[in-house]
Amino acid sequence: MTTEVVRWGIFGVGRAGRARARAIAADPRAQLVGGWRGDPASVSARAFASAEALLAEVDAVAICSPNALHAAQARKALDAGVHALVEFPLAGSASEARALLQQAAAVGRVLHVEHIELLGPAAEALRAWCRGRRLVSGSVRFTSGHSGWLADPALALSVAHRNVARLHRLADAVGLPEVARVQSRGPHYLEAILRVGAAEVGLSLRHGPGLARHTEMALRLDDGASILQSGRDVFVDGVRLALPAGPGLFAADQRCATARILNGAGPYVDPDQVLAVLGLADDLRQRPPASLTPR
């Protein structure tokens, strides 16, 4: 029996593109044909001179380019009849993402959105502990350094859109929040208050040279339980949970994408949730900070 294999290309062989190449190499039902832009030689892949040349030789393409290019490159792939895997965010707005999902459905191709933050053991632990409980209060804080295109808002997109992973983590644990108010916002920072039901959640996102990459999510539930994720560790009422090592996240995401293409499997993030979280990011980008809101 012959095993079907998906021929993959990569748009943008930088850090994320190299991680994707390793995930493709680890997938027995995937073959890396080559890359366009970045450094395909770093993953021993053939370099293509144009997107069109690469798309002509593959079944699927992984889009690992700067955020602002995701939507246009996904559209180009779908126009060519090629399946597309897109690193988050899918697009710079919910409306643009909706059009891409509709296009994929119309041409019968998979549009897979990577959200590996939902596949790890910390996400599973928070999901399990919050199930059946109501949020009373919480906070989400994230910092990271940046360089290259990530330091350019024109390529990285708004702080809210480049942090949809953090918004997805919150929505996955306690339900989709809405914006209560934006406190302050700049090209590389965002401070806001979100609301989940009657509970308020403080949101602080900051990027800048020298900042350590760190995630902290604190949730207090209606039964008195206090849950804290700090980095990769999760604590419940101050006691650190013993989490399993978990799979390689890119490898797990890659297998999901292959299963969608070859077996018709469903996505691990509902498209409606992708659109809802992008809509939340749109609101965080557009709403005037509280100090500027007319009274």
For residue range 267-290, list pLDDT tens digits in order: 999 999 999 999 999 999 999 998
Place of tokens 């990285």: 156
For the domain spanning 119-245+278-292, the CATH number is: 3.30.360.10
Intra-chain end-to-end CA distance of the chain, in Å:
70
Report residue 28's pLDDT band, with 50, 70 and 90 as the boundaries.
Answer: very high
CA distances 213 to 116, 192, 205, Å, are 16, 20, 11
pLDDT at 293: 46
CA separation for the pair 97, 190 (Å, rounded): 22
Taking residues 65-90, report their average pLDDT: 99
**Alpha carbon separation from 164 to 117, 148, 213 (Å, rounded):** 10, 20, 16
Task: Please give the Cα distance from 295 to 293 (Å, whole number).
Answer: 6
Structure-block tokens of residue 264: 């018709």
The answer on pLDDT for 85 being more than 70 is: yes
Identical fold at 6-116+250-266 and 119-245+278-292?
Answer: no
Q: Which two tokens stand for residue 281?
A: 């990011």
Backbone angle region of 264, left / alpha / beta, with phi > 0 → left and psi within -120 to 50 → alpha:
left
Spatial distance between the Cα atoms of 36 and 43, rounded to a whole number of angstroms:
12
Q: What residue segments make up the domains of the chain, in order of their start?
A: 6-116+250-266, 119-245+278-292
Pick the CATH number of 6-116+250-266 from 3.30.499.10, 1.10.10.10, 3.40.50.720, 3.30.420.40: 3.40.50.720
Of 61, 152, 154, 150, the residue nearest 109 (C-alpha): 61
H helix or E strand, kind and range, residue 189: strand 189-196
- pLDDT at residue 7 greater than cutoff 60: yes
High-pLDDT (> 90) share of the chain, %: 95
Tell whether the model's pLDDT for residue 75 goes beyond 50: yes
Look at residue 107 and tell me whether its pLDDT is greater than 80.
yes
Distance CA 78, CA 71 (A): 11
The Cα 288–Cα 280 span in angstroms is 14
Q: What is the pLDDT of residue 291?
A: 60
Per DSSP, what are the bridge partners of residue 234?
229
